[in-house]
Each structure stands twice: as structure tokens, then as C-alpha cells.
Amino acid sequence: MARPSRRSGNLPAEATSFIGRRRELAEVRKKLSAARLVSLVGPGGVGKTRLAVRMAAELARGFRDGAWLVELADVRDPDLVSNAVLAALDLRDQAFTEPLVLLLSYLKDKELLLLVDNCEHLLGSAAQVVGAVIRDAPNVRVITTSVVPVPPLELPSGSAAESLARLGRNEAVMLFTERAAAASGTFELSGANQIAVAEVCRRLDGLPLAIELAAVRTRVLTVEQIRDRLNDRFGLLTGGGRAALPRHQTLRTTIDWSYELLTAAERALLRRLCVFAGRFTLEDVEAVCTGDDVPVAAALDLLSSLVDKSLVMKEDVDGVACHRLHETMREYSALKLREAGEEVVAGERCTDYYWSRCQQAMGEARYRLADWLEWMDLEIDNIRAVLRHCVTRRDAHRGIDLVTSVGWYWITRATTEGVRWLDELLACGPGNPEGQFWAYFLRGFLAVLKADATAARPPLERAVATARELGRPALLSQGLAMASIAENLAGDPGSARRLLDDSAVVTTGLDDFAARISLLQARAFDGFFRGDIETVKAVASDGVRLSREVGDLYSLEMMLLNAGGAALITGDLEHAKGFYAEALTIAQRIDDRVAQYVLLDELGCVAAGSGQPRLAAQLIGAAETVRTQAGASLIPILAPLIAQAEASAVAALGQSKFDAAMDAGKRLGRDEAIRLALGEPAQVSVGAPPNGVALLGKREAEVARLVAEGLSNKQIGTRLFI
């Protein structure tokens, strides 16, 4: 599922209501001009993220390639920090390059600002990645949150003589007023309540999260009642004196107050929500967090109540209603879960839920791949946390089942990450026999995708042996076919042919789509290596037909690629263009970056052969950008075709015009390049940065929509969680 490009001009919600702090902004700008790394430190709830996002938005205009937000709050595994930065930059771990290597290669000539948010729990790994970026990318600047202390929001003066208009411009008061208006629908700052509002903000030390939690209570309490209850609570902690509490204790006390006002069912649900590492849906909550004390039928109302009280955040992701916990609230909930003695039970329920759900989807995922990948993009942080849980407890059985059941995610989204999980879980001990086969098979498949024949051979040999032991012909056929592809990659055509023949014998008479399509793919691959284009044409035709019948988009994409390659090699440009165009629409739909780059290159070859040299240069340039962003290298079979297309285009245009057209293609975003390749309108702007740089957060698209509706900053603040 491709995320839309979002530019820095439309500020995320954190920036719309975060006005002021010019002093801090000036200080950070000064520091960035003198150093390449600025770190913002402060406890949870003081507004580090808001300040950092505001600064990034203000500073982005000074960087050719914009400002980008890397969110680490949902990343629990130190080894995945590089992957998180790749995802934020819209790069893809889908080829042979290690994530950090790909990241550094991409950033080395970029001029941009990286905002790395919420590093608290990943300091060592985040420091390593940021250090490498600072070392290898001279024009990249970095702001991190957590490692110059961040002051809370500006406090009101507390003077009764302060005018209402002046008080209304105070940062803390503005936040309280906006959140109270959003909660109650009627709240306004007035002469009657201004003193109480100012006292609440001062009592809460200007901490944004604490202010928000207090403001939502205006639904049922007056500001004066809120102030009095806070003073009573804090007075107990300070012996009734006027001494101030440390800020972290102020925040904890405010959260305690909110928690204690919940019903027993609300408290139970809130503490159990911490088992989710990332976003979660109502369906997830119903499966994992309910029980006798939290009935399934009540989950929606309870979750909605927690959202209304600002204890849970709600966000829409591509039309799906999702929720998440503020990082401070997640830590608090985890503490309450331990105090309740529910930590182990809740963790096991979460593991069982994702294990069983992914196992059930395993057989059907390839036949509804686009929808399944959207679900995986939504849930991947939770699944990663469960995989880490399995590795930590050496739970090979569920871990191997889970990592293989989401294999299509590793194939299309995160090849290197998938390899790492498989290696860690296989080292934990054997899983169930069929799960063991799929682990070996998938490990070999991912190595083939990374063009690493040496790494592919051993696991595929084990997969074949395991399938023989199980007496499962359909599994054996797939293992033999993939092993044949690996041998061709390794330069051993004799072994490849023997394995291919063995696969054909085993598959004969089998009514199993996966086995049949695997054999056809191996035969097409072998045909290309041996120059037997007629065989490629025949098996690709069968493969296209079979894939259409069952709705397997990935296999259909591959078979269309094979058919297009055979047509291109034989000079049938019209048919080649048709095959490639259909494959490209599939590659865009499932966001297969490697297939996208190959198809852009192939369509560039078609354009060169069809008398469209400028288009050919643009598509080849666009393909190079997509390829490097996926960490891939040019496929050897493709290299001579690209060289021939480039030579033809240079001969037609001249070197300088060819270079200009190719450079313009390199600056196209992926969607623009695909539109151009498919004959749809696309703007080729010499000055346009690649792929809509300046990504500033998940909610920015929603803010842009609200801006387009004509809402003011204040109105936007009441419509979104700040």
C-alpha cells in the first residue's frame, strides 16, 4: 500500500495549534547552522514532538530536498531503526542491499532535514544510525527528540489584571481552550473563567498532555471544579504546601486522576491496550482485550469513551478507523497491567491472536493480495512485536508459523527484514514439520529475490528434503522449482535442468495451483537463460491464464513480465507494450517496487524501438530512481536490452538531449512515472524533487483536506487530536 506524497506546505495537526516558541526555533536554526545534529530532550508530555514538527515545518524551506519525519514510537526492535527511516523516506527494503547501506547510499547526495522522533527506547540503535548518516551524508541535518532540554508550553502570568485578549494568546491557555471546546462543544474563554483557566495551566506546569487530559473534563465539570480537584490532589503530595512537584510527577498525577475517574471496565481496557505496539482496530481490541470484565459487545462504547477522554488517540488510515496510545500513556498502561498481574496473559492473548489470524489468512493471502497487504501495512508493528516475543521466548512453533504466514509481506515489502526474522526463528528450534518446510522455502525464495544464489541453495535443499519426508508432492514440486531457479542464478544450468525435470514429474497430475504456477515460472526462467524464447512464450501464456482464473496478482504480474520479455526479444513491440502495461498497473496496485523499476525499463525499451526516444530516456531515468530506492541492481538479462535502447535514443536525440530527458525522468515520482509509461498525462518538471519530498507525518493529508474545506487553525485543532 503506497503512502501518498505529502509536502511540507500543509502542516500536520501538531503544528496548527503550536504557535509561538520563536525563541526555541531561532536557537535550533542557529545550532543547525553550526552543527548537523540537534537533540531535544524532555519527559513525555512536554511537547517535544510538537516543537520538533513545528521546527521541521519552519526549517524545511531551507533544504532542497525538504524535511522528513521518522516516527519511532511504534518501533520496539532496535534492529528496525534503519527500516523505519527507509519507510519514512518512502524507500523499500526489497532487494539485496542491507537497509542501512541503502539508506546511506540514498542520502549521500541529498540536502534534507531528518526529524527522528521518540528515540527514548532505542537510543543505542538510533544513535548508531544517525551517526552513520551524519558521517556519510554531508548535506543532511538531523533533529532528534530525546537526546537541549525542552521547556513546557509558555505559562500564563497568573495576574488577575491580565487582559482576556492577552491571556487568550498564551500557548497553554490556547491548548486548554481548544481541547475544552472540542470536548464540550460549548467552552469559551471568558472573564468569568479566565482566572481558573490560568491557574489550571500553571498547576499543570504547561505540560500539553496534562492540559489536554484536564480540558476534556469540562464535559462534566466547570473549570473551577477542575482547578479545585487538581489543587486538592497535588496538595496531598506536597503536604498541603505550595511546593511544586517535579514535572514528571505532575504528569503522572494528572494521568492517575484521569485513570481513577474511569469505570472498572474502562480501566481494564486501557491497561490491556498497551499490548499493541502500533495501531490497532476495534476488531483487534475485541479479540485481545475483552473478557468477563470487558464484554465484547461493550468494546466499541468503552473504546469511544477512552477516545473522548483523550486517553486513546483515533486516526483514519485509508478509510480504516484505527487507534493508538500516546507513548506516555502506553508506558502508564503497561505499569497498570503489571500491577494487575495481567501482563503474561495479555501478552499470550496478543500472540495467539496474530498467530491464528495470520495462519487462517495464509492460504488465501495470495488470492486477495492487495487487500491483505493493506491490512499488513496497518498491523506490521504489532506483528513485529509478536515475532520478537516469540524469539525472546524461543517459541519456534508459533514464531515460524507466523513469519511464514506473512511471507508475501517480506516478498513485496521487506526482503532483508524477512530474512533476519527467519534466521532468528529457525535458530530457536524446529517448528511443526510443515511450518519448517515453509521457513526453508521462504528463506530460499527471499535469497533468490536478493539474487544471492549462495544463500538460497542450503535452505532450498532442506525444503526439498523436508517435503520428501512429509510425503507432500505439492510442496516438493514448489521446492524443486525454486531450487531450479536458484541453480540458474548460480550459473549451473545442468543442475537447474535436472531439478526442473524432477519438478515436472512430481507436478504431473496434481490439481494444485501453487505447484503448477511454480513450475511454469521455473520453466520461463530456464527458457530465458537458455535462449528458448518459444518455451517462454508458451509457459507465460499458460501462467497468465491460470493466474487470472484464481486471482493471483503476484503470479499474474510475473507471467505478464515473462510474456512481455519474450515479445520484446522477438521484436513484437505492440504485444510487449500491452503485457508490460497490464503488469505495471498490478505492480502499482500491490506496490511492488522491483517490478515497477523493471517494467519502466522494459517500457523504455519499447519506446526506443517504437520511435519515441525522448520517452524512452525519461522512462529509463525514472526506472533508475525507483531501482536505487528499492536497493536493487540491474537484472543481468535486462542489461543488454537497456544498453541497446539507450544507444538508439542517443542516436535519435543526441547525447545532450538524451541526458536532459533522462535527468527529467529521474526527478519524476513513481506515480508520475507510471502515468507517463501508461500514456497518461504526467508533468516532467526539471526542478521538481523526487517523490514528493518533505514528508511531515501521517496526519498531514488529513490536515490538508481540512484546510481545503476552509477550516481555521482553531477549527482544525478541534477536529484532530493534537
Q: What is the pLDDT of residue 31?
A: 66
Rounded percentage of the chain residues whose pLDDT exceeds 70: 84
Closest to 403 (Cα-Cα) out of 379, 381, 419 = 419
Residues in the chain: 722
**179-193, 304-318, 437-451, range with greatest mean pLDDT:** 437-451
Q: What is the pLDDT of residue 3?
A: 33
Residue 709 pLDDT > 50, yes or no?
no
What count of other Cβ atoms lies within 10 Å of the Cβ of residue 46? Answer: 26
List of E strands, 41-196: 67-71, 113-117, 141-145
For 189-241, how does the pLDDT look when each residue is reduced to its tens digit (9 = 90+)?
999 999 999 999 988 888 888 898 999 999 889 999 999 988 887 765 554 44
Q: What is the pLDDT of residue 183?
A: 85
**Top-confidence residue, 706 or 353:** 353
Report the alpha-carbon distance of residue 451 to residue 441 in Å, rounded: 15
Q: What is the mean pLDDT of the chain?
A: 85
Q: Do residues 309 and 259 touch, judged by C-beta distance below 8 A? A: no
CB neighbour class for 636 (10 Å; exposed up to 12, middle 13-18, buried from 19): exposed
User: What is the longest distance spanned by two Cα atoms in the chain?
Assistant: 92
Helix (H) or strand (E) run with residue 376 in it: helix 369-392
Residue 713 pLDDT > 90, yes or no?
no
Report the alpha-carbon distance of residue 485 to residue 499 in Å, rounded: 9
Q: What is the pLDDT of residue 40?
A: 60
Q: What is the pLDDT of residue 702?
A: 47
CA distance readout (Å), 614 to 2, 669, 674, 679: 28, 18, 16, 13
Q: What is the pLDDT of residue 249?
A: 79
For 367-401, how does the pLDDT look when each residue is reduced to its tens digit (9 = 90+)?
999 999 999 999 999 999 999 999 999 999 999 99
How close are the terminal C-alpha atoms of the chain, in Å?
Answer: 26
Q: Per-residue pLDDT averaged across 238-266, rounded?
A: 77
Helix (H, G, I), strand (E, B) or coil at 702: helix
Q: Do residues 447 and 456 touch, judged by C-beta distance below 8 A? A: yes
What band does 187 get if pLDDT is binned at 50, 70 and 90? very high
Report the alpha-carbon distance of residue 608 to residue 602 in Å, rounded: 10
* Residue 205 falls in which region: left (phi positive, over 0), alpha (psi -120 to 50) or beta: left
Residue 504 pLDDT > 90, yes or no?
yes
Helix (H) or strand (E) run with residue 263 in it: none
Closest to 439 (Cα-Cα) out of 455, 457, 460 = 460
- DSSP-derived secondary structure letter, 373: H
CB neighbour class for 435 (10 Å; exposed up to 12, middle 13-18, buried from 19): buried
Rounded percentage of the chain residues whose pLDDT exceeds 90: 60
What count of other Cβ atoms lies within 10 Å of the Cβ of residue 300? Answer: 12
What is the CA angle 363-364-365, rounded to 5?
105
**Top-confidence residue, 541 or 681:** 541
What is the CA angle 429-434-438, rounded to 5?
80
Q: What is the pLDDT of residue 6?
A: 31
The type of residue at 53 is V
Residue 4 pLDDT > 60, yes or no?
no
Q: Which three cell numbers stand for residue 505?
A: 514429474
Report the alpha-carbon distance of residue 577 to residue 104 in Å, rounded: 35
CA distance readout (Å), 314 to 149, 213, 310, 688: 29, 15, 9, 34
Q: Which three cell numbers stand for residue 576?
A: 510487449
Q: Considering only 71-75, 158-162, 303-307, 575-579, which range has the smallest mean pLDDT?
A: 158-162
Q: Considering only 111-120, 347-356, 591-600, 694-703, which range has the smallest mean pLDDT?
A: 694-703
Closest to 439 (Cα-Cα) out of 448, 450, 431, 428 = 431
Residue 526 pLDDT > 80, yes or no?
yes
Q: Per-residue pLDDT averaged across 158-183, rounded?
A: 87
Residue 20 pLDDT > 50, yes or no?
no
Q: Radius of gyration of the chain from Cα atoms?
A: 28
CA distance readout (Å), 145 to 69, 70, 126, 466: 11, 11, 11, 49
What count of other Cβ atoms lies within 10 Å of the Cβ of residue 523? Answer: 23
What band does 2 get if pLDDT is binned at 50, 70 and 90? very low
Q: What is the pLDDT of residue 306?
A: 94
Q: What is the pLDDT of residue 32?
A: 65
Report the alpha-carbon distance of residue 456 to residue 396 in Å, rounded: 21
Helix (H, G, I), strand (E, B) or coil at 38: strand
Report the alpha-carbon distance of residue 539 to residue 523 in Å, rounded: 7
Residue 706 pLDDT > 50, yes or no?
no
Q: Which residues pair with 143 in a beta bridge?
A: 38, 115
The type of residue at 507 is T
Strand order in the sheet with 67-71: 37-40, 141-145, 113-117, 67-71
Query: Is the whole model's pTM more than 0.85, yes or no?
Result: no
Report the alpha-carbon distance of residue 586 to residue 594 in Å, rounded: 12
Q: For residue 479, which phi and psi values (nearest 5 degrees)?
A: -65, -45
Q: What is the pLDDT of residue 5?
A: 31
Report the alpha-carbon distance of residue 6 to residue 703 in Å, rounded: 11
Q: Per-residue pLDDT averaged across 638-655, rounded?
A: 93
Q: Do residues 624 and 666 touch, judged by C-beta distance below 8 A? A: yes
For 22-50, how does the pLDDT look when each residue is reduced to its tens digit (9 = 90+)?
556 666 666 666 566 666 665 555 566 66
